[in-house]
A and B are shown apart, each in its own frame.
Chain A
């Protein structure tokens, strides 16, 4: 009977820890769940905190939206692995608690300082697998951070505006999803590759990354 009560209490605790207390979503996501959005927002704030040499923080970069888009174009197997990664980070505080008070709370419920310390613990662990998990998580977040146009502009590495010339191959292949009969170009549209104009620093930026767009 006592054992049964312990199992029930444990199950209730697990249920509450895993499923309850997450804020509602501001908008719909294709792949991410409510708890994952909360986790990714909290990790992004700890990984790219406000201040420092780059004005944009992880929260400014809205990483959950980016990661949702990325996962939606990834394979099912990749998505499963990413979901597992988020679950692990969120709940591994049970085994690797954050320093300070109530350090065993789930990751997204920790204070910012505690979250920073937890991430540092993963990154500098003597356990190879922990470091590997950290690098995987940081890679995902970094991909999203660098997809934020203001970040790329602030770092001086935003892509340039380029008008693609029409070459022979463009008369052969339609855009992905279209039929061969939908190819818009004819031989009259062919243009030459411009090799006279290197894209020097200061050249106009890609429209999606220009200041006006943001």
Chain B
């Protein structure tokens, strides 16, 4: 098979069309895996991405400018209802370009729950394991090595050990990490195996046509089957539309992300929505973070971005992680103003920030389509019971901080003191009645807006990602998760996409 090619914004000079076997919309983890596996199967594939490819020279180290360039809505996308920021990448490689490369298999009890509640027959851990392994081998997924953990991560281990909580080095899709802590602004060391440096080049080697700066605006169909996609070329960063394109295909795969895919279906004449579930059931892993201040320097800028984690409390609804990000982004979570705020920032060199992500199956929302835009409107509410999970997680993080030797913790929670100097004081986190609006939340990972269900009346796709309503239309992004997976979803999304690709190539 001859090598494929990439087109970037400056390459487009007129309207165009292409004929392929399969068109894949979205080059994030799910889309990139799907495209590569389908090209491996000998199919002609077009992979379409709205964002541009980033080279290391295009990365911005500064947090805000980087977000403005690599994230949808400049990184300022918010939910309504419970106000919470949530970030989605817009770049070749999707979110993998700017995430911290955490790879976790969904726990067996979660997948068993999915099978039972959503009439799925082949989605247990044993079913998915071969697909997890294939992806893991390709990306070199491995535990974060000790030499790049840095003190910030190792203090977490030390605290967990002291309390008898299990913890482990984070498994990541990284080869040759140097501990720059720059995962969120693009890996300048090229160690992170984001999709743009791993699966996408592999797909191109096998013949894929990759169209970047190309925004799909509708799915073409004849009522019974999808026939391709149509859209416009858009300028990087400004989104200014120019040439039109059309890709004719025997099958269409949507991997645009669980917020963009429902909009695309809606804009295509309410496609694949006989169940009424498109855009519904929006779930997140809401996250909270807390800063611990230690007596000595922690040197937080050195070390893997998120090198350690604890799954000790997964069944209680939360997972704990270490965290680093551009300092400006981390500082946003701290309380105060004026001199008190400034002096708190001065503690940065002696601080570590750790976070928790929560399983919030009760906290639901929806993705709505705006009439003149492809930008979704998000409504979501944090359930009061899930507020309790998050405050419990903050308490546990405080426990670990004090066990690791912190002299204080700074929670940033409204309505209670800014800083606790002992575990006794921190008890207020669980004893004081708190509401969603008292927490500084981050909307990590989003799911379920085109959920899989064995019953076509209750879900959009089957467990292979095939739409119940249109047999040659597939969805492989995290929208197909029936519930949040309790751990970072990237590896599971890729494993499901790997399985879907095998299914699609068999069908074609």
Contacts and interface: CB of A to CB of B under 8 A. Distances in A.
A128 interface: yes
B297 A156 contact: yes
B508 interface: no
A78 B301 contact: no
A193 to B, nearest CB: 4
Interface string A71-87: 00111011001000000
Interface in B53-110: 53-58, 61-65, 68-69, 73-74, 76, 83, 92
A165 B58 CA distance: 14
Interface in A114-169: 116, 119-120, 123, 128, 131-132, 134-135, 138-140, 142-147, 152, 154-160, 162, 164-165, 167-169
Nearest to A121: B337
A3 interface: no
A201 to B, nearest CB: 4
Given A70-B68, A193-B189, A157 B348 contact: yes
B196 to A, nearest CB: 6
Contact of A193 (B148, B176, B328, B336): B176
A180 B188 CA distance: 21
B175 interface: yes
Contacts of A53: 342-343, 346
B299 interface: yes
Interface stretch (A9-17, A43-51, A101-109): A43-51
A164 B62 CA distance: 17
A146 B329 CA distance: 9
A69 interface: yes
A173 B53 contact: yes
Nearest to A53: B346
Contact of B73 (A78, A128, A175, A177): A78
B182 to A, nearest CB: 7
Contact of A172 (B179, B204, B239, B437): B204
Interface in B271-302: 297, 299-302
Interface stretch (B7-15, B443-451, B499-507): B7-15
Contacts of A177: 9-10, 236
A179 B10 contact: yes
Contact of A120 (B64, B338, B437): B338
A153 B68 CA distance: 24
Contact of A164 (B68, B188, B349, B414): B188
A208 B339 CA distance: 27
A178 interface: yes
B6 interface: yes
Nearest to A118: B337
B191 interface: yes
A70 B328 CA distance: 13
A47 B341 CA distance: 8
Contacts of A180: 5-8, 10-11
A96 B107 CA distance: 51
Contacts of B197: 167-169
B177 interface: yes
Chain A CB within 10 A, most for which of B54, B188, B191: B188
B417 interface: no
Nearest to A151: B345
Size class of A's contact patch? 35 or more
Interface in B199-225: 200-201, 204
B126 interface: no
A172 B201 contact: yes
Contacts of B9: 176-177
Contacts of A173: 6, 8, 53-55, 92, 196
B147 interface: yes
A193 B188 CA distance: 10
Interface string A188-207: 00000111011111010010
B267 interface: no
A111 interface: no
Contacts of B54: 173, 176
Contacts of B336: 123
Contacts of A199: 178-180, 302
A131 B337 CA distance: 12
Given A116-B338, A156-B299, A180-B6, A146 B182 contact: no
B178 A169 contact: no
Contacts of A65: none
A156 B349 CA distance: 6
Nearest to B204: A172
Contacts of A142: 328, 331-332
Contacts of B299: 156, 201
B92 A160 contact: no
B87 to A, nearest CB: 14
B57 A175 contact: yes
Given A78-B73, A160-B180, A134 B337 contact: yes
A125 B55 CA distance: 44
Contact of B236 (A116, A159, A176): A176
B300 to A, nearest CB: 7
A194 B179 CA distance: 11
Given A167-B197, A173-B53, A128 B237 contact: no
Nearest to A77: B73
Chain A CB within 10 A, most for which of B57, B69, B302: B302
23 contacts: A54-B345, A70-B68, A73-B65, A81-B76, A128-B437, A142-B328, A142-B332, A147-B64, A155-B348, A162-B180, A162-B189, A165-B189, A169-B196, A169-B197, A169-B201, A170-B56, A172-B201, A174-B55, A176-B9, A176-B58, A193-B176, A193-B191, A198-B178
Interface of A: 46-49, 51-54, 69-70, 73-75, 77-78, 81, 116, 119-120, 123, 128, 131-132, 134-135, 138-140, 142-147, 152, 154-160, 162, 164-165, 167-170, 172-180, 193-195, 197-201, 203, 206, 208
Question: Would you list the 6 A-B pairs with minimal beta carbon distance, nearest first?
Answer: A195-B176, A53-B346, A146-B328, A173-B53, A164-B56, A193-B176
Interface of B: 5-11, 52-58, 61-65, 68-69, 73-74, 76, 83, 92, 147-148, 175-180, 182, 188-191, 196-197, 200-201, 204, 236-239, 297, 299-302, 326-329, 331-332, 335-339, 341-343, 345-346, 348-349, 414, 437, 440
